[in-house]
Amino acid sequence: MTTSSKTSPASAAPLDLVIFGGAGDLSVRKLLPALYMAHMHDKLPKKTRIHALGRQDWDRAAFVAFLQEKVTGFIDSKAFSDDAWTTFVERLNYVSVDATQANDFATLAAAMQPGSDRVYYLATAPTLFVGICANLHGAGLIDAKARVVLEKPLGHDLASAQKINDDVGQFFQEQQIFRIDHYLGKETVQNLMVLRFGNTIFEPLWRSPHIKSVQITVAESVGVGSRAGFYDGTGAMRDMIQNHLLQLLCIVAMEPPVSLDPDAVRDEKLKVLRSLRPMTMADVAKDTVRGQYSPGASKDGSAIGYLQEENVPNDSRTETFVALKAHINNWRWANVPIFLRTGKRMAERRSEIVIEFADLPFTIFQDSPHQSVNRLMIRLQPEEHVQLHMMAKEPGSGMKLRPVHLNLDLESAFTERRAEAYERLLIDVIKGRLTHFMRRDELEAAWTWVDPIIDGWKQLNEKPKAYTAGTWGPAASSALMAREDSSWVEES
């Protein structure tokens, strides 16, 4: 495997950015709005053409009408400008292409600018990846400067992930492949690197025995909705734990890299993944919780259960919730339990990292025998902030303590515009910056750890535990924490 981390310098050459699945949900909701914002703020190369590819037999007028109807609703109304939209649409081109038909790629080749840098975004099912890459190669559309962006899911187990990597690797070198995880484009996630490695105050405490536990939660208040057909064959472990949560864990747990060179950073993340303690069958039975939401409530009123969702079999055992306890086998994290949790139809939409520091060995404040723990809370969404929770004296006589927090509100601390994750990552791709994208060995190391857990669930042959929509998941997830003398932050 090629592991060179060299990235291409900013180029004055024209740019052709090609989106396979250009009229699909991801393109409409995320990619085209992100590219509009990049255009509006002059972040795209001057001679950029964006080619949206799809099977629809549209002329340009039909495509522009589609954009006007579907895409503009996903652009912040405060950022929308008729003039900027008009000039953005001028950059866009629709090409009717069946990705499985090699002859159609001649039409794409004819639409390309001479001598352009090329970015291919595969917002399609992974089953189409190899065919698309082969047809691009056959049409002479891949050169040493070309880049390809791969959207998850990248496999459903280690073997399928390796096949995707092998298939795409026939046509693109490793340094040309950008495996995207939009969580790595979030401002607060990138700020976590600075919090850890740009300051000295936390590093002496960022280890066992000073840290009691780590919690990483990615909770969603919505159900599976229109993704039910895909989701039922996937589940929360494959959809969220294997990628988003493990990537967050890597940034929390990694050692300081020698530089911000892409491979220097990714080498350290890989060490974390390879240090995860493999789970035995006994561990899977004791330290993991699978759940499935049942009818309950949502912010919009009542909510149906997972089994009542359209395109979900009545007897489905697919998990919509996972909580588990992991361990990292190295000196820094020895004996520190790491709790990962994700789920659909939970009490609120929230993504956060909680570093729970060790308890006091002894308290001299007898007026406050039950003291709150010291925590560093890193909120990723919906708002973005960092809070350090500690104890302070209440005003008045005596020495009664009260929990308080120091707050770094990233949204108010910086007045500059904050780009969304997809916009930031798309600009990274255009500039050839690989730091915030997964390398092949990272992806495969994550699957190596996850596969035995999924296999263990199959052998246990247990139904997911029911939890009411609008709650924080099955009671068993609270018991998982209690066995380590901890609790989820909302239960503290």
HSE, side-chain direction, 13 A CA sphere, residue 43: 19
State how far Cα 89 lies from the chain centre: 29
Q: C-alpha angle 425/150/71, rounded to 5°?
A: 60
3-state DSSP of the chain: CCCCCCCCCCCCCCEEEEEECCCCHHHHHHHHHHHHHHHHCCCCCCCEEEEEEECCCCCHHHHHHHHHHHCHHHCCCCCCCHHHHHHHHHHEEEEECCCCCHHHHHHHHHHCCCCCEEEEEECCCHHHHHHHHHHHHHCCCCCCCCEEEECCCCCCCHHHHHHHHHHHHCCCCHHHEEECCHHHHCHHHHHHHHHHHCCCCCHHHCCCCCEEEEEEEEECCCCCHHHHHHHCCCHHHHHHHHHHHHHHHHHHHCCCCCCCCHHHHHHHHHHHHHHECCCCHHHHHHHEEEEEEECEEECCEEECCHHHCCCCCCCCCCCCEEEEEECECCCCCCCCCEEEEEECCECCCEEEEEEEECCCCCCCCCCCCCCCCCEEEEEEECCCEEEEEEEEECCCCCCCEEEEEEEEEHHHHCCCCCCCHHHHHHHHHHHCCCCCCECHHHHHHHHHHHHHHHHHHHHHCCCCEEEECCECCCHHHHHHHHCCCCCCHHHC
**Amino acid in the structure at residue 31:** L
- Which is the catalytic residue, given 39, 51, 182, 244? 244
Distance separating alpha carbons of residues 149 and 436, to the nearest angstrom: 12
**Amino acid in the structure at residue 197:** F
Distance separating alpha carbons of residues 487 and 489, to the nearest angstrom: 6
Reported for 329-333, long-range contacts at CB under 8 A and 24+ positions apart, including other chains, are: 329/275, 329/276, 329/277, 330/271, 330/275, 331/207, 331/208, 332/206, 332/207, 332/208, 332/253, 332/255, 333/207, 333/208, 333/253, 333/275
Distance separating alpha carbons of residues 34 and 18, to the nearest angstrom: 14
Known catalytic membership, residue 41: no
Q: Which residues are catalytic?
A: 244
